[in-house]
Each structure stands twice: as structure tokens, then as C-alpha cells.
Structure 1
Amino acid sequence: MIHLANPWGLLALVALPAIVAIHLLQRRSRRVVTSTLFLLDPLAPESLAGRRIERLRNSLPLWLQLLAALLLAVALSQPRILRRESWQEVAFVLDASASMAAFETEAREAVRAAAARLERAAGRTEWSLLESDPLLPIRYSGASRAGLEAALAGWKPRSGAHDPTRALGLARSRTGPTGVVILVTDRNRETSAGTHLLAVGTPLANVGFTGLTTPGSGQWSVLVRNFAREPQTRSWWIETDGATTPPQPLALDPGASLVLRGNFTSDRMTLRLDPDRFALDDALPLVRPRPKPLRVARSHPSALFERFAESLPDRITNLPADRSDLLFLIDGSPPPPAARGAVSAPVSRGESARTPAAVVAEEDPLLRDLVWTGLQYQPPDPPIAADDASRVLLWDRERPLLSLSAAHGAPLLRFHFDPDRSNAARLPSFVILLHRFAERTRAATLLPSAANFETGQPLGLPSDARDLVLEPAPEPVTPGTRPATAELRAPRDPGFLRVLQAGEPLLEGAAHFADGREADFAGAETLDPIPGLAAAQRERHSEQPLLPDLWLMLAGIGMTAAWGIRERGA
């Protein structure tokens, strides 16, 4: 396959009609009447420039000049022959960010056009199609451009803001150092060296829902934001059980936000805005929250534990220990197998002076951002040591104060001192610690509930739960393309969801889009490096049939010969 490295060199072909025109514009000989010609020497016909067009004479100088101009155009256009055995690897990394949902059609067309141009740059091409979110599967790998284009049909960009570095590194490992890696996105961004940016975005005037809270008492609160740089007007309404409220107008200044509030009139509702190019934030489904109850049992006489248990929201008390989720035990009592969490502490038999503690805290989510200054406690006698299965969370010098263990199946938060013989009840850190542990225990239970989630958010169900079915079904994953996970997530599109366990409802929910970073299109733009990239790839996989200097030399010889013949004829 022959191609031109410099197509602009073909402009030299304009010399061909110019040469022909020059030869047509010859001065016509004048007719002179004379009595005899024998006194005149025979002369060859001479072509002199003139203003009138005469018949084109078939002469060797004409053809030599035309040949020289043609050779000059060939030399300047730099013809190349594509090597049939040449081979290249090209990887497209599709930006999986939700903002690309506004440019899905443009992105697919750009990839198809880029693949068509790059395919002509080598004898054979190996294609890879990946997404920038490392949790998503590889969409295509093979030598068929048709297969690559077919794999584009299943692309749905719905992920939140993320770093594409890992996906670009995977693409580079597949193409090798000499391969082509192209990130298809909607705006200009910094990328690793050697990565080409194909941007298909344009600024959009987007208005959408960006947040939901349910403060309680059957109320909801929703935030609407104008991401555009101009004032925007929209209408919004509520859909409930087949009924729709009358549309209400909204007027938002550039970058302004507005809070909408209301009461739940149904267990399921959908708030809607007038649609625009970015549809993910134009609808906000929501359900009436129904928290999971926490079943609490207490066998420890601690006043601190009793007050804490009474402060827990959505609790169920006065249950047997074997039917409870969270237990407060006397130190040394193992939790029953059905328990999801337990807190234990010793019971002191006598009074003694409290000792100020020099607390050192280990790294743990339960202790994050908590301050333990001012703790005073009565050291037990004899000291309570931590067993080998425990991880100490708090130390007083070399004495353990608090440890976490899972030796009995359920997490056990163990106090190594009597909380009632300390000032722990006056320290906010201990109360926050117990609340965090209680909520962790609640999350591990399998009881019916209803909640609202962001799209793609983990549903927070226990990892050891069995026979769970998510409706709608999650997107299929190509085996071996990403690590297997038992964690169920909310759908990537806004809508309602349900989780069943053994056919029984376990979780009712709604997923809404709330990533304001992906809803802002002020920085979207278009970048197309493919023409230059395809030309560079063709040049790399091509060879020159003849050196350009040879074409120029032949053109010079032709021009010199034409001049010499004219002079000789003259």
C-alpha cells in the first residue's frame, strides 16, 4: 500500500498546467512578402513569447519540463510503501467517569474514526479496549476492528471521579513501550508520558440534583445546583404511585444551589427536573428510610453501659442473649454464637484511688480522630492481660486498656478496667467509640431495612451473607478481568433496588446520582491528536521505494536537458 508522507507536496503539480500554458502562448510569425528566399539561410522555427494562443507543438523540451515538474512533485510528497509485515498495538482507555454519559455518542464515533485511521497505519493491528475505572472489566482484546466497535456498544460511563493511572498502566503493559495508548475523555487533563488524549467534550449548561438527606420524622431534603456560568430556569415535580404533582419553576443564578424540602407521602418517590444533555442528575429516586433494628442484651451491671444502651436509636431490648445482636458482658463471659458483637468489662469489688492514664492509641477506624487526654481509672488487681487473639487498641504505658478480639466469632470490644470506676462516662471519646462499635454491629446484622444510596455505593451488607439476590441484577463481569468481590453495590444508574435473601425481602432502597464533580461541564473541551498520530504510525511502519534526492536529481536532469535542447535549437 502506497501513501504520501507529505500530501502538500502535490501542490507542485500546479506547475504542469503552467508549463503547458507557457508553450501555448507563443508569438505567431509575421507574414512578409519577398521576391526570393535563396539569399536567406535555412532557420529552425523559433518559439517566441507572445500574447496569442497558438497550436501546442509536440516538442522534446515540453515533455522534459513536464517530467521534471512531475518528478519534483513526487519528491516533495515523499511517497512511502507500507510494509505488509508491520504490526502495531493500540489500546483505547475509555473514561468511565459519569460525565462521559453526556458524550457517549461522540466518544463512540471518535473511537470508530480513530480506529479506522490507525488501522491503515500498519499491516496488522492488535486492539485493546479498557475503561479507566480499574474495577471494571477489559471490554475487548483482539485483532478485529469490527470486534472493537461491537464492544463499544456495552460501554456505560457511570463511575464517580477517579484516577485513571492504574488503567493507563495496564494499557501500557498490554501494548508495550512502542504501542499506542489513547485516553478517550471529555476534557484536557494531565496524563502519563506517551499517552495520547482524545477529548470529545463541549461545555454544557447543566442543572441537577446533587444531594439527599432524610433528617427524620418522614421528611426529605434535596439540593439542586446550577453548574452553568449563566442563569438557568427549570421545572421540577414529584412522581408517586403513578401520580404526578404539578411542575414548579426553579430559577438559579450561575453556580447557585437551592434546597427543596418535603414530607414522604409514599414509601417510594421520584423527584424530576426538566431533562438536559446530562440525564443522570435529572431524576432522584428515594425511599422512606427504615433503619435496621439493633437487638441489645445486657448482663453487665455497668451504669455506663446501661445509659449507652438506652441512647441507641432503633433498638430492641429485653431479649434473651442468644437472640441479640449486641451484648454487654462481664469480662470472661464468651458471647453466644448468634451475636454480631459484644462489649465486656470487669466488675471491681473494692474502691481504690484512680490513676491518671498516659494513653497511647493504635491506628484503627474505631479510634480515628478521638482524643483520650484526661482519662482516670482504677487499675484492676490483678491486671487483665490481652490474649494472643486480641489486638490492643489503647495502652497505658505497658498496661492494656482496651482490646478488640474475634476469638469467639463475633467482634469483642474488651475493657481492661471497670468503666464505672473511671471517668470514662465524662469523656466524649468513649461514648463515640461505643457508638461506632454499635453501628458496626448493626451493619453486620441481617434484618429487613430500607435506605437511600448513591449510585455505585456499597450496600453495606455483611460479607458472610448467603443467598443474596440484587434486583435489578448487577452488570455481568468477564471472568478473570477483575478481582472477585462478594460486596453488593447499588446500580450505576439512578433507580430503585431490592435485595432478597432466600426469596425474602432484606433491603429496599433507591440509588441517586450525587457526584457534583462529574456534573460540572465548564471545563469540557475537544482535542483530536489522531491525524498526527496516524501519520507518525504510518511513517514508522513504511519504507521509501527511492530516496528523495534521486527524485530531485532526475527533475534537475530533466530541466537541464530541456534548457540545453532549446539553446541548441536556437
Structure 2
Amino acid sequence: MGFASWAGLWFGLALPAIIIMYLFKRKYVDTAVPSHLLWTRILRNMEANRPWQKLQNRLLLWLQLLAAALLVAALMLPFVWVQGGRQGHTVIIADTSASMSAAAGSEPGGKDERESRLDKMKEQLIAYIDAMGKEEEITLLKLGSQPQVLLSREIDRAALQRAVTAMTADYGPAAYRETLSLAAALTRDDPEANVLIYSDGQWNAAAGSGNIEFEVPVQVVAPGDGGEGNTAVEQFGVKPGRDGVISGIAVVNNYGETPLETSLDVYGDGKLSASKPVSIEGGGSASVSFEELPSAEVYRLALSGEDSYAADNEAFAFREKADSPNILLLSSGNLFLEKALQLTGARVTVMNPAAQAGRESEAKPPAPPGVKPDIVVIDGPAPAFVQDGDWATLLRETPLWTWGGNGEKIRPDNGKTETLTHPVTRYISLADPPTGLLLDAEIPLWGETIISIGGRPAAYAGLEKGQARLVFLFALGDSDLPLRPEFPILVDNAVEWLQSGRATGLGRSLAGAAVDIPLGADIASADWVPADGYALRTGAESIPAEQEKGVILSRQQAPSIPGLWRFESKGADGAELPGFLLEVAADPAESALQGSQPLPIAGAESGAQTLNGNGQDNSMPKSRYSLVYLAALLALIVILTEWGVYQRGRSI
């Protein structure tokens, strides 16, 4: 039982006032006197006016005190909590933040040992909907990365249960304050409304900065006890050393209160590469380094074993591009180009196609280099062996720069040279044409002209199926460009632009955040596909890429489930284009499962009831049943009884 208004206690001053009145009440006592009848009246007055007499056990006194006490109770608006039976408008806030995917804290060995808090919340919500009042209207709000009104003033139980069943966890930054503000606005000026908050209470510190005013009763239901700790991979990265040796470092946090001993496993392209034990004190962190990791495109760091929150038990890292790119130069011999490439700091490997003529006659093309180059440069016509097999695959998946080639050569109509704005042509101004012969070739759809001579393209650049392409339509042997002072600058710009997209992945992004993807002009369709980690283990489905008017957008929203995702795309001809890998991470603020913050709620009616998982029935929130009318009725009955006693003329 509770009281909604303690202001009614002021009426409690009537109780001592009644007692004081009885202390000063005139009391007439019949006394037999044998004589002196004239003194009788005087003696009565003296007895009746005697103050501070001893209180006697009188029925009228107790009736008056009981009536005053009942009136005080009625003014304090008494109520009791009862299961269900709500009326009016109920706003339900369902917390679907990342921490709700953690285990609900059931007893080990039970049937729901790994049941998540989100699953527990769904059970509680469905049970509440089954017992909702006949005239109760429910507005269902989803607390995720942004407030979402799933249903508004709904009375259909089936529709409410379908909306609850379809809820999924949102691993991005949760909009705690925004959702509470929306609920406060929906219940403002509605005295019949009330708010139910289903949440584990794992609210970050920013959510509690400044309370939100509610004008209606607010109840909080906590699914599970939330007593388990959590271990999280805070950071993980790899980088190449001087001799190409890959090293890695990881930071792991223990949010529990007890010391933790576990091991960290590093996988390179799906194969176990290293494993190290780690010991972390309660509430502490540890840094672990890994040396001489085998070369791989993607590395995954995973904690051994399981804890209550699995979304932060792993992290991915992509091989960083080295400061000095590896360039494969296919040339019959061009000292100017080779030296200009070396001046950029690149490691240049020269392969002479003419030396492979004998092998080609025997149908034995040379093997591609053991270490995949970062850039391929072809000086002159492309050799025949690069058209098929592993070489064709290498050129398709590697940034390519070509000079000249096979085809008919023509002379421009005039020598007017124009250098267009592009990263390759920065700080370059060609007043005179560098050559008098150009290949008669059409620019593909993905190409953008960067140098023109006599109105004809002399060089173009762009992305072909996601890979950088730079094409000069003249051979260096037909040009005086290597003799010009702009040539080293041009080569440096070209190498920098070609290796700008050389990273093996898109990096790391929070769930639901915006991601920029370098897309080619020939892309026709694309999807996000789970490739590894938490998303793949939980059976996440592919997500279609965002489009606008049939065009795939280069700025995409990252998937909402943590793990390794691949952005797969296809061209207009149906051919698969190179994919992009992205690590999606949950909001790190959700990893601290212990030390939950109080809800930022204020107001006279707020915080009325908090139900938790301490063994009580928390599947059904309680509603207030007013006792005001009962207290007022009892007070009226006592007053009528008192009036009857008073009419009898007795105060016994």
C-alpha cells in the first residue's frame, strides 16, 4: 500500500485538537449532598471547569478520532499495487540496446541458461499484453539508436504481440534521453496515462546528465538480475614492420569484479596464427602483443570461452598498407620511369616481357610474383601472358597504370594542351603537348579525362570494378615528358593516387553508422553479406545496399549487427566486382554490464515502482488501485455512528 499525496498529513493536526478539546471539555458529575442545596449549582460549575482532567474511555472520543484519521488517509490518496487491470493510456518503452542481448542471469543448468535479456523482456511484455485492461491503450516505443514508435494507442493484442516478437537488438549508440523525452511528451497533460520502462538499467553516464520531467507514474521492469560481469576486446590492430613482419597488439577490459584468466587467439584469414594467455584483475585491463604473425588480409582476435555478452568478444584488423608500396613494372627498359618510381619511395620490381618470349612459345607464361604488388605499371603494349590465368586475376584486383599500348596511332588536330583538375595532375601545367601521337581509343564509362591534346584525350583515370586505373594514350618512347621537370611530380602524384584505395578493408565502424565506399560507375547491384564473427554465428541475413533512384549510393549505412561484413557488388553485365570488408562493432559503452546508471527521471509521480529479478514476479508490472473512495466511505460511516451516539445524549 502507498500514498500518492503526503500533503494530506496536514489534516492530521485534527487528531491532537480533538484530544485537547476533550481535555478542556466541561464534565458534569452527579453528586448526592445531604444538605446545603443552594451550593449544588456552584459546585457543578467548579467541577465542570476543571482543566486537564484525566481522559476517560469514551466511545464518542474514539469515534471522532477514527473519523479524523480516515479523512486524513483519504486526503493522502491511498492506493495499493495490484497485478494488471490498467486503464487509460500506457506508454511502454522497450529497451533494445546492445546490452539487452546479454544473458539474463538465470541459474546455470536451467532451461533458459543462455536466454538473453531481450528474450526475457519479450516474455514479460507478451504476458502483460495478455492481461491488459479492456479499455487500455498501449503506445509501444522501441529504445534503439533512435526512438521508434512501433504502435500508437493500440488495443489489438495480436498486433502488439507481433510488434514485440519482431524486436531485435540494436548495437549502435542508444538514444536513451531522446526516447524518454518522447515518452514524457506523449503523456504530458494526460492524467490517466502511465509509463512502463523495460530495461536492464545499463545506461551510460551521458544519459543521466539532467533529469527528464514526467507528470505521470513511471515503473521500471528489469529483465534478469544483471549480476554477471563481462570481458571485452577494447582494441586490436596489426602493422607491418621494416622487413614486412606483421605484429599486432590488443587491449582487453575486465568489467567484472573477480580476476579473469583466459587466452587470446589470433586468426589470419581464418587460420589460427597465435595464442597467448592473459590474466586481468577485476575492473582492470591488459595489453597483449603478438609478434611475427603470418601475412594475411584479415586478422581476427577472439577471447577463449564465453561470457554473458558475446558481441564484444572479438575484433578484426586489416593489414595496413606499408609506407612504401610494392610496384611491379612490366617494361622492356625505361630508365626514366624506373628512377621516377623509385624516387617516390616505392620498391620497384622490373620484369622484361621481351625476356619471356621463349616461354610464351612453349605456352608457359611466367608465374606472378609471390608477394602481391600494390601497383602494376605496364610500359608499352601489354604482354600476351597477362590476358589469362593468374595474371589476368592479378591485374583485375590490383591498381593498374599503363603507358601506350596496341592500336592505331593518330596525330591531334592541334597542339593545344589542357590539364584538367585531378589528383594526378596536381602542380602540373603542360603548356606544350608532350607527344605528337595518340592512340585512337574510346574512353570507357568509368574513365575521366585528365589531359587532352588538340581536343582529344591523352590520359584518363577512374575506378574499374572498384580498382584504380590510370591510362596514358601515348608511349613514353614517343614523348618528351620524361625530360620535363614536371615528370617526377606527375609520377609521385600518380603513385599516391593509385595506392590511396590499396587498403584491404574499409576499417572499423559502429553499428548503423555511415560508411563511404569507393564504388565504380558500372555497379548495378550490391549487398552486405556476413563474412565472419558474431554476425555469421548468429545467422544474420544479407542486407541490400541503399539506393536512390536506382543508383547504388557511395555512402552506405553499416549493418546493425557486429561482426565482419563484406560489401559485394555486381556490374551491369552480372559480373562480380571486388568486394570491400568492414568490421562492424557494437557501442563500447554497452560493454560495462556492471555499474548501471539510475534512470534520468524526475517528477512527483516518477519512480513509483521498480521491479527487478530478485525472485519476485517481474513479468507483470503492477497498477495502482485507489483506496480514496473506501477511506471516504468508512469516514462517513463513522461520522453517522458518532451522530447517533451524540443524539442519544450520552458520551459513554
Shorter chain as denominator, the TM-score bin is 0.5 to 0.7
State whether structure 2 residue 372 is matched by structure 1 residue 314: yes
Counterpart in 2 of 1:57? 58
Alignment of 1:71-110 (within 5 A): 71=71, 73-75=73-75, 77=77, 86-87=88-89, 89-92=91-94, 94-96=96-98
Letter paired with 1:213:
V
What is aligned with 1:433? 497
Residue 187 (structure 2) pairs with residue 126 (structure 1): no
How much has 1:430 moved relative to structure 2?
A: 1.2
Residues 468 and 73 of structure 1: CA distance in aligned 2, closer, same or farther (over 3 Å): closer
Q: Can you list the C-alpha shifts for 1:426-473, whole angstroms capped at 9, x where unaligned?
A: 453310212246x48x88xxxxxxx99889699x99985799785736
Aligned-pair distance for 1:314? Answer: 1.4
Distance 1:343 1:135, change over 3 A: farther
Number of the residue aligned with 2:361:
none
Answer whether contact 2:419 2:450 (CA < 8 A) is retained: no
- Residue of 219, 237, 246 corresponding to 2:263: 237
Q: State the secondary structure of the residue aligned to 2:499.
A: helix
Specify the alignment match of 2:605 in structure 1. Answer: 532
User: What secondary structure sits across from 1:360 in the alignment?
Assistant: coil
- Per the alignment, residue 248 of structure 2 pairs with 221
Does the aligned pair in 2 maintain the 1:390–1:405 contact within 8 Å?
A: yes
1:204–1:521 CA contact under 8 A, matched in 2: yes
For 2:451 and 2:92, the matched residues in 1 are separated by 56
* Equivalent pair of 2:248/2:291 in contact (CA under 8 Å): yes
Change (3 A) 1:226 1:84: closer
Question: What is the aligned partner in structure 2 of residue 9 from structure 1?
Answer: 8
Alpha-carbon distance, 1:35 to partner: 0.9
Identify the residue that residue 34 of structure 1 maps to in structure 2.
Answer: 33
User: 8 Å contact 1:356–1:374 — kept in the other structure?
Assistant: no
Does the 8 Å CA contact 1:454/1:490 hold for their aligned counterparts? no
Question: Residues 195 and 265 from structure 1, CA distance in 2 versus in 1: closer, same or farther, beyond 3 angstroms?
Answer: farther
Q: Structure 2 matches for 1:421-570, cutoff 5 A?
A: 421=481, 423-427=486-490, 428-436=492-500, 439=502, 472=536, 475=539, 492=561, 525-527=597-599, 529=601, 532-533=605-606
In structure 2, give the amino acid aligned to 1:321: Q
Residues 138-149 of structure 1 correspond to what in structure 2 (within 5 A)?
144=157
For 2:289 and 2:564, how far apart are their aligned partners in 1? 20
Contact persistence 2:228–2:593 (CA under 8 A): yes
TM-score with structure 2 setting the length:
0.48
Structure 1 counterpart of 2:605, which letter?
A: G
Partner of 2:356: none
Structure 2 residue runs without a partner (length 5+): 80-84, 106-115, 321-325, 350-368, 569-577, 609-624
1:187 pairs with 2:224? no
Could you tell me whether the CA contact under 8 Å between 1:202 and 1:525 is conserved in 2? no
Secondary structure of 1:223 counterpart? strand
Letter in 1 for 2:372: D
2:289 alignment partner, one of 248, 260, 277:
260
Aligned alpha-carbon RMSD (Å): 8.0
1:212 alignment counterpart: 237
**TM-score, normalised with respect to structure 1:** 0.53
- Of all paired residues, the percent bearing the same amino acid is 15
Secondary structure of the equivalent of 2:497? helix
> In 1, Cα distance between the equivalents of 2:187 and 2:458?
55
Q: Is the 8 A contact 2:558 2:584 kept in 1?
A: no
Q: Which amino acid aligns with 2:498?
A: L
Deviation at 1:151, TM superposition (A): 3.8
When residues 453 and 46 of structure 1 are mapped into structure 2, their CA distance, relative to the original with a 3 A threshold, is same
Query: For this pair of structures, how many residues does the alignment match?
Result: 514
Q: CA deviation at 1:272?
A: 3.6
Whole-angstrom distance in 2 between the partners of 1:528 and 1:110: 21
1:337-384 alpha-carbon deviations (Å, 9 max, x no partner): x8998656557999xxx99987634xxxxx5xx892256586355899
Write the letter of the residue equivalent to 2:387: A
Matched AA of 1:57: R
Distance in 1, Cα, partners of 2:454 & 2:14:
95
Assess, with a 3 A threshold, how the Cα gap between structure 1 residues 37 and 92 changes in structure 2: closer, same or farther.
farther
Change (3 A) 1:469 1:92: closer
2:572 equivalent in structure 1 = none
Q: CA distance change for structure 1 residues 202 and 395 in 2, over 3 Å: closer, same or farther?
A: farther
Going from structure 1 to structure 2, the CA distance change for 1:17 and 1:181 (only over 3 Å counts) comes to closer
Give the AA of the match of 1:223: A
Residue 354 of structure 2: aligned partner: none
Letter in 1 for 2:97: D
Q: Is the 8 A contact 2:263 2:276 kept in 1?
A: yes
Q: Aligned AA for 1:261?
A: F
Work out the CA distance in 2 between the residues paired with 1:410 and 1:418.
Answer: 22
- Tell me how far apart the structure 1 counterparts of residues 186 and 454 of structure 2 sit (CA, whole Å): 52
CA distance in 1, matches of 2:197, 2:272: 46
**SS state at 1:221 partner:** strand
* Aligned-pair CA distance for 1:211: 0.8
Q: Report the 3-state secondary structure (helix = DSSP H, G, I; strand = E; otherwise coil) of the residue aligned with 1:532.
A: coil
Structure 2 CA distance for aligned equivalents of residues 299 and 113 of structure 1: 72
Q: Deviations over 1:31-59 (max 9, x none)?
A: 966215965459799697656453x4344
Distance 1:5 1:212 in 2: 56
SS at match of 1:525: coil
